[in-house]
Structure 1
Amino acid sequence: MKYRKVGATDLTVSEIGFGCGGNAGLMVRGSFDEQLTVVERALDLGITYFDNAPDYGDGAAEENLGRVLKQLRARPVMNSKVEIRSRDLDDIAGHVVRSTEATLRRLQLDHLDILQIHNGPVHGAAPLEGKYYATLGIDQFMRPDGVLEGLRRLLQAGKIRHAGFICRGNDIGPIKQLLQTGLFSMINVCYTMLNPTPGMGCPEGLRVDKDGGNVLNVARDAGCGSAIFSVLARGFLTDDSVEGHERHSLARSTGAYGERGTELQRQAAQVRFVARELGISLAQAAFRFVLGHAGVTTALGGFSSLAQLEELTLVSGMDAIPPELLNRLEAVWCNNFAVG
């Protein structure tokens, strides 16, 4: 396993991280024995960074990881998150503190190495409805009783060492505003072989749902690290997916993504040549692509099984994808994944 420094901090983490989200399902729906086996092996393989959130199984992933790590007597670098919902808008700072304290209880820790805001920043003061929390207005980050105030309270109390937030695309302006505060050390970014825009300007001809705005380079220049989530594009950048095989029983089903899933599956087939040329799996090629960017600190694996963990950790230390293959990949983007 190779390791990378988190921005301008003193933290160093494994370039393959352990994601605890619901898409892979292990830390939400797996048994204790399954979780223990995979986490123990991950630690043996050199993984030192674990990414969690209260939203993963309504706290279950945090509770389960806390239980497993206590059994293993292990203390890796730990990241979790806070979600701000409509009910929290009257006291955002207080909610950030209370939510983090609940996370620490579930994880059985006295502090987090990194705490991230699960809402991505957008212009103005964005309204929230019900359980929706994907975005939050930049004004709600910055206001006197807002997100930044809550994070400062936690930093001063020693309950978190560093802070971060999620980037969801079409948001580079608000992201720059947050990075200029100097408060943030790690962002989470969705950067894939199907949408390279977080790592470069959008290739001419490529149409994407969300433009990443070259955020990986922006963050690196600001001394901020970047963790990549959904490296496999919600699980579609795998050989099994392209071939139409069923997912692991713990994983979220392909059908949950509807027509969008069908399109992702088609696009994945158009970039599979990269894996074949390199003699590796499509999932390994997806991680190799991500880790080839100098702005990436760690690529988060969502592991449903021991076999998936073993497969993806082999990518650490591989050379970057050769330029000639990247040129062919760019041609696919410029042609917007057209078959031809």
Structure 2
Amino acid sequence: MMRYRRMGRTGLAVSEIGFGCGGNAGLMLRGTAAEQARIVARALELGVNYFDNAPDYGDGAAERNLGRALKAAGARPLLCSKVEIRRADLDDIAGHVVRSTEDSLRRLGVDALDVLQIHNAPWHEAPAMEGVYYARLGIDDYLRDGGVLDGLARLLRDGKVRHAGFVCRGDDVNVAQRLFQTGMFGMINVPYTLLNPTAGQAPPPGLNVARDGGGVLCHARGADVGAAIYSVLAGGFLSEDSAAGRPRHPVARTVDPAAEAVRLNMERARSLRFLAADTGGTLAQAAFRFVLSHPGVSTALGGFSAMEQLEEIAAASDAGPLPGSALAALERVWRTDFGLATALP
């Protein structure tokens, strides 16, 4: 049975498992229209009511495909999409936010979004924005006249967007708090995983992480801002197939097994396989149950390549949070940096 949580000040009741439409799992980009329709319909049957999308997912393809699948199902769940701000948009950020959103509405076939997020994480200063880069945006470009907040205000006023949010990417908790203080934002998207839990707690002693989440989930909860967690499976590594070295599903994004970062993530995943045995489920289910153990989490976004993955992850909601014994064992693994502290030079 799917459980639901309140998404911060938005008041939205969202399913603990959300449906992510990004390119890593690949269904909404590389799956067939029939398979997309079948899996989206099954997600709705299972109680999934929150769908997360973005124009960047296949240059609008994921939005069009989701809109078609929902029309076939005769359903209108909660919809989130995003805006990517690139260098060419800096002279009229507010106008771009409005135009991009209107394009998303047309692709999805709806009159309004329940949540619109800025896909650029706020940053302390203006980053170099070359080519199609949009990972970060200077905080001044959020707050200045004609900036992000002005564009969001227009959309909220006109009823094209009901709630606003933004993405965090790590090392950005201070600027995220500045945005919380504006009162405009009701939710964030943030990475929070078994491999890097720092969005939800202080860094465990001994654990090395590329980016510090800064406990942003705790700060968001204090500001009554909800949180959707993306990349729960750390880009697909926290799965039985990945831990066992098996190839990914044909529609999923491929990785190079010879790459050092890939090899290390597979080793980290293997060190956590005990969680599946200890909790009577799969490694992927344990990853979602871990995320849902945090009180600041509103929904955990699943990326699905196939029906069996949807069924597997949806069951994690009914299983409840990870037990204390599993969390204690996890803490011990973190303190050894997944056993790599002594295994690597």
TM-score normalised to structure 1 length: 0.98
Q: CA RMSD in A?
A: 1.1
Post-superposition Cα deviations, 1:231-273, rounded to whole Å, max 9, x if no partner, equal 0000000111011101110000122893222111111111111
Equivalence for 1:25: 26
Structure-2 residue corresponding to 1:167: 168
Does residue 299 in structure 1 map to residue 336 in structure 2? no
What SS is found at the alignment partner of 1:212?
coil
1:202 alignment partner in structure 2: 203
* Residue equivalent to 1:259: 260
TM-superposed CA distance for 1:139, in Å, is 0.6
Q: Work out whether residues 257 and 263 of structure 2, in 8 Å CA contact, stay in contact via their aligned partners in 1.
A: no
Cα distance, 1:334 vs structure 2? 1.4
Question: Number of aligned pairs?
Answer: 340
C-alpha separation in 2, matches of 1:320 and 1:111: 33
3-state SS in 1 of match to 2:253: coil
Decide which moves more: 253-262 or 310-319.
253-262
Which amino acid is 2:267 matched to? R
Gaps of 5+ in 1: none
What aligned pairs does 1:215-234 form with structure 2 within 5 A after superposition? 215-234=216-235
Q: What amino acid does structure 2 have at the position aligned with 1:164?
A: G
TM-score by length of structure 2 reads 0.97
1:205 to partner: Cα distance: 1.3
C-alpha distance in structure 1 between counterparts of 2:318 and 2:75, whole Å: 24
State how far apart, in whole Å, the 1-side matches of 2:307 and 2:325 are. Answer: 33
* 1:165 maps to amino acid: F
Residues 1:256 and 1:80: Cα distance change in structure 2 (over 3 Å): farther
Is it true that 1:71 corresponds to 2:77 in the alignment? no
The one-letter amino acid paired with 1:219 is A
Q: What percentage of aligned pairs have identical amino acids?
A: 59
- Comparing 276-285 with 254-263, greater Cα deviation is found at 254-263
Corresponding residue for residue 311 of structure 1: 312
CA–CA separation in structure 2 for the residues paired with 1:42 and 1:187: 23
Measured after TM superposition, the shift of residue 279 of structure 1 is 1.4
Question: By how many angstroms is 1:75 displaced?
Answer: 0.1
Cα distance 1:257–1:136, how it changes in 2: closer, same or farther (>3 A)? farther
Which residue does the alignment assign to 1:95?
96
Which letter does structure 2 place at the counterpart of 1:236?
Answer: F
Deviation at 1:127, TM superposition (A): 2.8
Q: Distance in 2 between matches of 1:161 and 1:285?
A: 33
Please list, as runs of the form range in 1=range in 2, the aligned pairs for 1:38-117 lying within 5 A after superposition. Answer: 38-117=39-118
**CA distance in 2: counterparts of 1:60 and 1:338, whole angstroms:** 41
Runs of at least 4 residues of structure 1 off by over 6 A? none
CA distance in 1, matches of 2:257, 2:8: 36
How does 1:226-245 map onto structure 2 within 5 Å?
Answer: 226-245=227-246
SS in 1 for 2:93: helix
AA paired with 1:215?
Answer: V
CA distance in 2, matches of 1:53, 1:9: 20
- 2:131 alignment partner in structure 1: 130
CA distance in 1, matches of 2:262, 2:205: 24
Structure 1 residues 77 and 155, CA, compared in 2 at 3 Å: closer, same or farther?
same
- Residue 70 of structure 1 deviates from its aligned partner by 1.1
Q: Can you give the 5+ residue segments of structure 2 that lack an aligned partner in the other structure?
A: none
Name the structure 1 match of 2:328.
327
Deviation sequence 1:281-328 (CA, Å, 0-9, x none)? 100000010011100000000000000001111111323212222111
Matched, 1:144 2:145: yes
Distance 1:206 1:37 in 2: 41
For 2:300, what is the secondary structure of its paired residue?
Answer: strand
